[in-house]
Structure 1
Amino acid sequence: MADTSATREVFVSGLKNAHAMENQALSIMKPQLSRIENYPEVARRLEEHIHETEGQMSRIEELLQQLEESHSSVKDMALSLTGGMAAMGHTVAGDEILKNSFANYAFEHFEIAAYKSLLTVAQVGGFSFATSALQMNLQQEEDMAKWIDDNLRSVTTRYIDLREAGESAKV
């Protein structure tokens, strides 16, 4: 299928939404990272994923530039604000590390779905120049979701062990 005006609009809108989504991810992960003390493996992986996310945003910006477009500052700001509020919401929970793990797992799958959809639009609309960057972003999100899935048991048991020992188990 050819690059039609409607398909282009869907693709550009999707890229702008993806940029805002990654901005939101940063506003969730950075506060989490700053609070982690007792889960060094989670802190290391969050820090890695923050760097990956920054790279994802750069790739999206490059794609938008190729389309002579730019990201939406309004969408970025709105989603960053909601992400920050979500991150703050878990700080009052006694099991903050678990709540963060659940939320991060769900958010990674939201991002996976968004990139799969963008890849479909790229294919349908003939935006083959975007496939490699979007595939890379998708792979990083899938890797992070798998890491959370693979480590949820150890995070949970560490939380229980800290609670049993009477130590701070929140983060």
Structure 2
Amino acid sequence: MTTHEENYLAWVKDAHAMEKQAESMLEKQAERLEHYPDLKARIVQHIEETRQQQALVQSVIDRYDTSNSVFKDTMGKLTAFGQAMGGMMADDEVVKGAISSYVFENLEIASYTSLIAAAELVGDTEGARIFAQIREQEVAMADWALNHLPDVTEQFMTRDAAPGVEAKK
């Protein structure tokens, strides 16, 4: 295996761990949302996309007859759990969660952009196609998150200003 292929496969494994982290983070966020139905519905939709993305990334790993990184997957889940727990303590949990989701989507977009270039360099046209498909979904989610952030913020502020109304989730 060449150095290019070794780097590429390491990054593919990182992408798998990243998708595991995304799934865990999104599930925790969706579980806690009570008063923001549009946001919850889009997150639930993206959880399903994320699971499909994991399977696609795993298919690239499987073609190279290598295993995904159990350590990285576990660390990703623990990181997502820590992020979710930290957000639960914030009075403005829903707004901070929406901002964090947008930031994470952009991390995924950048990661898949790099993976596309690496796949092309090592001659993995199927991997490049898969990563381009996943990146399109991540771009769509990032666009949705950015476009709906003002609505989430306004809903939170309106709920927070109303006496006796829960706003944080």
Fold in common (TM above 0.5) = yes
Q: 2:65 aligns with which of 62, 65, 68?
A: 68
- SS for the counterpart of 1:93 is coil
Provide the residue aligned with 1:9 in structure 2.
Answer: 6
Q: Which runs of 5+ in 1 are unaligned?
A: none
- The separation in 2 between residues aligned to 1:95 and 1:153, in whole angstroms, is 14
Provide the residue aligned with 1:87 in structure 2.
Answer: 84
> Following TM superposition, by how much is the alpha carbon of 1:160 offset from its aligned partner in structure 2, in angstroms?
1.1
> Following TM superposition, by how much is the alpha carbon of 1:129 offset from its aligned partner in structure 2, in angstroms?
1.8
Provide the residue aligned with 1:26 in structure 2.
Answer: 23
Code of the aligned partner of 1:134? F
> Following TM superposition, by how much is the alpha carbon of 1:116 offset from its aligned partner in structure 2, in angstroms?
0.3
Q: Does 1:47 align with 2:39?
A: no
Percent identity reads 33
- The separation in 2 between residues aligned to 1:37 and 1:118, in whole angstroms, is 36
Q: 1:105 aligns with which of 91, 102, 122?
A: 102
> Following TM superposition, by how much is the alpha carbon of 1:156 offset from its aligned partner in structure 2, in angstroms?
0.6
> Following TM superposition, by how much is the alpha carbon of 1:96 offset from its aligned partner in structure 2, in angstroms?
0.2
What do the CA deviations read for 1:51-101 (whole angstroms, capped 9, x no partner)? 000000000111111111121111100111011101110101000001101
* Deviation beyond 6 Å, 4+ runs, structure 1: none
Contact 2:35/2:167, CA 8 A, preserved across alignment? yes
- SS for the counterpart of 2:68 is coil
Aligned pair count? 168
- The separation in 2 between residues aligned to 1:70 and 1:137, in whole angstroms, is 20
Q: What TM-score does the superposition give when structure 1 sets the normalisation length?
A: 0.96
Code of the aligned partner of 1:70? S
Q: What TM-score does the superposition give when structure 2 sets the normalisation length?
A: 0.97
- The separation in 2 between residues aligned to 1:108 and 1:72, in whole angstroms, is 21
Code of the aligned partner of 2:146? D
Provide the residue aligned with 1:170 in structure 2.
Answer: 168
Code of the aligned partner of 2:167? A
What do the CA deviations read for 1:94-119 (whole angstroms, capped 9, x no partner)? 00001101111111111111000000
- The separation in 1 between residues aligned to 2:125 and 2:18, in whole angstroms, is 22
Provide the residue aligned with 2:130 in structure 1.
Answer: 133
Contact 2:117/2:128, CA 8 A, preserved across alignment? no
- SS for the counterpart of 2:35 is coil
RMSD, aligned CA: 0.9
What do the CA deviations read for 1:39-59 (whole angstroms, capped 9, x no partner)? 000100000000000000000
